[in-house]
């Protein structure tokens, strides 16, 4: 790990792998629920159950992959082999979920979602752990995560821009067409982008085997109070986003009565705004701290969300400025929490003498996917509870439409309030992180000196 500034070339190629990742994840957040409910005809409550089932599977795979990645020892490093091995699972799952054959049922969706999420786990846990190991400096880590977030935001722009172009120039047919064309783009870009990251960025060979076993390590990790607080705040933020994002399609089509093709247009511009907001949030974090900048971003989204209560049929254009302001706040969420996660891992390293980044990132990955599934399920269960019908050609009652409006506007806002309260006084500041890092470096220097003395004696 380095405390020297990383060059932009390294940061660019490291972040490049996040482009196809976000290209795939955003359509799943925005379109998948409506696609399988409206176009395929699967019940909303059944879809919610599938999302929760997938997280039970992750309870096993995420910590296991994190533990094995930390213990992998090859001349190519410990992260690269796992990332490479993830590609067949990930690509096959994406193909089956984004381009399903006619007549698929609930078990088809459940099975291929599990395959796809296994691929995500094998890719993302080592990939994020690798990023935490590129630098040990408080602000430099923000640069790493900011570059990755910026590249991921570019992937978001592609995920919206590709179907947008198809809608504008090739008369793409609704959300089913968006899923299909995005799936094809992801399958083309994943091996290219991930391959360039693997080839162009160094992953130092793992020279030691951690002495702490898997379950002992998990217990030590969960005794890390700052990590518990950080992951709780992150889960709440992710939960709010997971409720908000899938409901965009239902809100725009059923409340504003706008065509489905308007959704990629709106998301294209909000993605651009989020992307350009990231450097601003990096600067804000340097002035007020990462935790305060993150909380301010949450406040921006929180203030905007209730405005959607006052919109109705034919008012899509009135929604646009509020959505763009909200996108500025989302930029903070994309850039800062992962940098804070790398900082908190230093506490574990100081206590145990080992770098177990992938174990922490496995817990983070599990929290991310759990929040995504619980949030998505919560939104779907809410729509089912209020009697909203997402089936083909359904006509909903005014009460169901009003329930959708309140769910979309207020459920995420309440969750963001809780997340902001948790993160506001987070105590791991730049000064404290530097003290921890200096202590680790002094211990490493003593160990190296002792090893050199032993080598000379031998």
What is the predicted pLDDT for the residue at 4? 63
DSSP lists the bridge partners of residue 122 as: none
Does 350 score more than 90 pLDDT? Answer: no
pTM (two decimals): 0.64
**Tokens 């969960």, residue?**
222
In contact, 397 and 300? CB cutoff 8 Å: no
Other residues' Cβ atoms within 10 Å of the Cβ of residue 208: 10
More confident residue, 329 or 218: 329
More confident residue, 216 or 197: 197
Share of residues in the chain with pLDDT > 90 (%): 9
More confident residue, 321 or 42: 321
| Range in 246-250, 369-373, 422-426 with the lowest mean pLDDT | 369-373
What is the predicted pLDDT for the residue at 2? 46
Does 318 score more than 80 pLDDT? Answer: yes
Cα gap 65→416, rounded to integer Å: 30
Who contacts 388 (Cβ-Cβ below 8 Å, separation ≥6)? 44, 250, 254, 396, 400, 401, 403, 404
Long-range contacts of 3-8 (CB under 8 A, 24+ apart): 3/135, 3/136, 3/137, 3/140, 3/437, 3/441, 5/140, 5/143, 6/134, 6/135, 6/140, 6/143, 6/144, 8/147
pLDDT digits (tens, 9 = 90+) for 293-308: 988 998 898 888 889 9
Domain edges within the chain: 8-203+213-452
Residues in the chain: 458
Among 111, 130, 352, 334, which Cα is nearest to 227's? Answer: 352
pLDDT digits (tens, 9 = 90+) for 222-279: 667 777 888 888 888 888 887 887 788 888 888 998 887 787 778 778 878 887 888 8
CATH (residue range 8-203+213-452): 1.20.1250.20
Locate 240 and state its tokens.
């709010």
What is the predicted pLDDT for the residue at 1? 45
Other residues' Cβ atoms within 10 Å of the Cβ of residue 392: 10
Q: Return the axis-axis angle of helices 138-170 and 18-27, rounded to nearest 10°.
A: 50
In contact, 46 and 377? CB cutoff 8 Å: no
């Amino acid at each position: 790990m380095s405390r020297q500034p990383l060059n932009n070339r390294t940061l660019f190629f490291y972040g490049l792998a996040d482009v196809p990742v976000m290209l795939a994840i955003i359509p799943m957040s925005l379109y998948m629920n409506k696609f399988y409910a409206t176009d395929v005809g699967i019940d909303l409550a059944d879809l919610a159950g599938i999302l929760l089932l997938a997280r039970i599977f992750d309870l096993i795979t995420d910590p296991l992959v994190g533990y094995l990645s930390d213990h992998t020892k090859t001349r190519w490093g410990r992260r690269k082999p796992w990332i490479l091995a993830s590609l067949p699972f990930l690509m096959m799952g994406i193909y089956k979920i984004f381009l399903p054959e006619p007549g698929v049922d609930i078990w088809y969706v459940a099975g291929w979602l599990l395959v796809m999420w296994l691929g995500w786990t094998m890719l993302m846990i080592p990939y994020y752990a690798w990023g935490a190991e590129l630098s040990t400096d408080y602000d430099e880590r923000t640069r790493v995560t900011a570059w990755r977030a910026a590249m991921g935001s570019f992937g978001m722009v592609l995920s919206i821009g590709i179907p947008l172009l198809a809608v504008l120039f090739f008369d793409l047919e609704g959300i089913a067409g968006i899923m299909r064309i995005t799936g094809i783009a992801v399958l083309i870009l994943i091996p290219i982008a991930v391959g360039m990251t693997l080839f162009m960025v160094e992953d130092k060979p793992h020279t030691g085997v951690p002495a702490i076993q898997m379950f002992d390590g998990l217990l030590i990790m969960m005794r890390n109070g700052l990590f518990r607080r950080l992951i709780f705040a992150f889960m709440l933020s992710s939960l709010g986003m997971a409720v908000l994002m899938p409901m965009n399609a239902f809100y725009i089509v059923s409340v504003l009565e706008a065509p489905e093709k308007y959704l990629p247009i709106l998301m294209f511009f909000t993605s651009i705004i989020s992307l350009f907001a990231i450097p601003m949030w990096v600067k804000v974090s340097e002035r007020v701290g990462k935790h305060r900048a993150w909380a301010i971003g949450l406040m921006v989204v929180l203030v905007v969300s209730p405005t959607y209560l006052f919109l109705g049929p034919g008012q899509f254009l009135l929604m646009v400025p509020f959505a763009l302001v909200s996108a500025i706040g989302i930029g903070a969420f994309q850039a800062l929490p992962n940098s804070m996660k790398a900082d908190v891992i230093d506490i574990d390293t100081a206590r145990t003498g080992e770098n177990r980044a992938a174990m922490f990132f496995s817990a983070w990955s599990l929290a991310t996917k759990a929040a995504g599934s619980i949030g998505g399920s919560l939104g779907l269960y809410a729509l089912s509870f209020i009697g909203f019908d997402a089936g083909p050609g359904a006509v909903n009652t005014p009460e169901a439409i009003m329930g959708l409006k309140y769910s979309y506007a207020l459920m995420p806002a309440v969750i963001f309030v809780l997340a902001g309260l948790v993160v506001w006084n987070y105590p791991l500041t730049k000064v404290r992180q530097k003290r921890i890092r200096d202590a680790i470096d002094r211990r490493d220097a003593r160990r190296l000196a002792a090893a050199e003395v032993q080598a000379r004696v031998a």
